[in-house]
Structure 1
Amino acid sequence: MTSRMLSLLALFSALSAVGAAVKIPAIVGSVAFDVFPALLAAALLGSGAGAMVGALGHLLSALIAGFPLGPMHVLIAIEMAILVYIFGVLYKKNKKGTAGILFILANAFAAPLPFIILMNKAFYAAVVPSLLIGSIINTVIALIAIPRLKAFFKQDLMNKDVRL
């Protein structure tokens, strides 16, 4: 990994931390802007880089909120890394719309499914609207910003991927 890539990962992680601090009140907890830097990283730096930023961004967001779900945030960070990785793969294959829609649906409806078992159906039903709103906002911001930021990244950097 080059020093330039390491610096860019740090930059996107810092943006994720700032986004984690910007919260919109929601039905359960709050909606944070910690995901869009991960989606940017996945599209601009590669899927692996985006996955790392996504997992770290969620953990930072949870830390700022006081880890309300305790150790379950590790599961959520893993889910976020997987979803951002898939977004990056689809985006690189020029399936931008599919990447965005799949990320929104998976983050809002599939990712919280383990909480039906770990908590209950009422928690799932309460958290889905907030996750849907947050997913839409973060994804739209990312899809608008990615084409505008591509000019700042050299083609050779965009074609490389960070391995996990």
Structure 2
Amino acid sequence: MKLRLLTLAAMFAALSAIGAFIKIPVGINSAALDTVPSLLSAAFLPPVYAGAASLIGHLSSSLYVGFPFGPLHIVIAAEMFLILFVYTKLHQAGRNILKWVFFIVANSVLATLPFYWIISPAFFVATLPGITIATVLNAGIAIIVSPVLERVMVRVKNHA
């Protein structure tokens, strides 16, 4: 069972790394589609594994652009782990609307808030719109794909 979970987590982390290559310019930074696979992994994985896939996805996305915030990317990766951990818990509890509200608020505002003090208030204000657009874009794609993925899961279980 653990091998299956590790394999699935590695696959979702790899999909996150691929999503990191899909960049959409927003504001002073760019939005990557590296979070979509992690959001979808909530249907397959326990919270720790979904969080780990998200953590690896962020680090791969950061590696692709050259770690512009240096060691602060470790903080961001830890935030992504926690956000996806809670998101997966909410998904498993059947809190479908709350999980999306939580993800959007946590990934855009709460995850960016520490940088108000770490870097500067101006950085926070300049980054927040782009991060919010990226978050909504990732969530929107996952919202569209999730029902299709869940139907496929039901079909696979019925034919197995």
Task: Please report the TM-score for the alignment, with normalisation by the length of structure 2.
Answer: 0.91
Which amino acid letter does the alignment assign opposite residue 32 of structure 1? A
1:62-96, Cα deviation, whole Å (9 max, x unpaired): 00010000000000000000001111111111111
> Deviations 1:17-73 (Å, cap 9, x if unpaired)?
010011011212210000111111123222111100111100000000100000000
| Amino acid corresponding to residue 66 of structure 1 in structure 2 | G
Quote the residue 2:32 is aligned against.
Answer: 32
How do residues 119-134 of structure 1 correspond to structure 2 at under 5 angstroms? 119-134=119-134
In structure 1, what is the equivalent of residue 3 of structure 2?
A: 3
Counterpart CA distance in 1 for 2:94 and 2:114 is: 31
Compute the RMSD of aligned alpha carbons: 1.8
Q: Deviations over 1:128-154 (max 9, x none)?
A: 111111111111211222222124447
How far apart, in 1, do the equivalents of 2:8 and 2:151 lie? 15
Contact 2:42 2:87 in 1 (8 A): yes
C-alpha distance in 1, partners of 2:149/2:24? 25
Alignment check: 8 A CA contact 1:43 1:50 kept: no
Kept after mapping to 2: 8 A contact 1:58/1:80: yes
| Equivalences for residues 142-157 of structure 1 within 5 A | 142-153=142-153
Query: How is 1:12-23 mapped onto 2 (pairs within 5 angstroms)?
Result: 12-23=12-23
Q: Deviations over 1:88-121 (max 9, x none)?
A: 1111111111101111011111111111111111
Structure 1 residues 40 and 47, CA, compared in 2 at 3 Å: closer, same or farther?
same
Give the corresponding residue for 1:63.
63
Q: Is the 8 A contact 1:32 1:61 kept in 2?
A: yes
Check the 8 A contact 2:19/2:34 in 1, yes or no.
yes
Paired residues of 1:41 and 1:47 also in contact (CA < 8 A): no
Gaps (5+ residues) in structure 2? Answer: none
| Residue equivalent to 1:162 | none
Paired letter, 2:78? I
Unaligned residue ranges in structure 1 (runs of 5+): 158-164
How many corresponding residue pairs?
156
Contact 1:44 1:153 in 2 (8 A): no
Identity of aligned residues (%): 38
User: What SS does the corresponding residue of 1:43 show, helix, strand or coil?
Assistant: coil
